[in-house]
Amino acid sequence: MHDAESPPPHEPDRQTTQARNPLHGLTLEAIVTRLADFYGWDDLGQRIPIRCFTHDPSIGSSLKFLRKTPWARDKVESLYLFMLREQKRQGF
């Protein structure tokens, strides 16, 4: 039996799990801004060829599209995680 304040033994502690998640606490706007700053819109549009990155790109138009399109948001989040790994590997 476990006490009421600790998670059941078969479930990970949610707080610990989220602490390890590099996306935790980041807004989609922060993610897109960092990607655009790091890669530039042209490179970002080549890496994720979606119209909001390739035709008159902006943070606003990207957010509008990504909030409605889960598969595209997944790609953006994956690229952000890749960028973090690359930065860490390069010593940024």
Domains of the chain: total: 1
User: Is the residue at 50 inside a domain?
Assistant: yes
- Domain containing 59 equals 27-90
CATH number at residue 46: 1.10.720.30
Do residues 7 and 14 lie in contact, with contact meaning Cβ atoms separated by under 8 Å? yes
Q: Structure pTM?
A: 0.76
Residue 91 in tokens: 């010593």
Q: Hunting for tokens 């080549």 — which residue is that?
A: 46
pLDDT in tens, 20-77: 888 888 999 999 999 999 999 999 999 999 999 999 999 999 999 999 999 999 999 9
Do residues 75 and 48 lie in contact, with contact meaning Cβ atoms separated by under 8 Å? yes
- Note the helical H segments in the chain: 14-19, 28-47, 51-54, 59-68, 70-90
User: Is the residue at 37 inside a domain?
Assistant: yes
User: Is the residue at 1 inside a domain?
Assistant: no
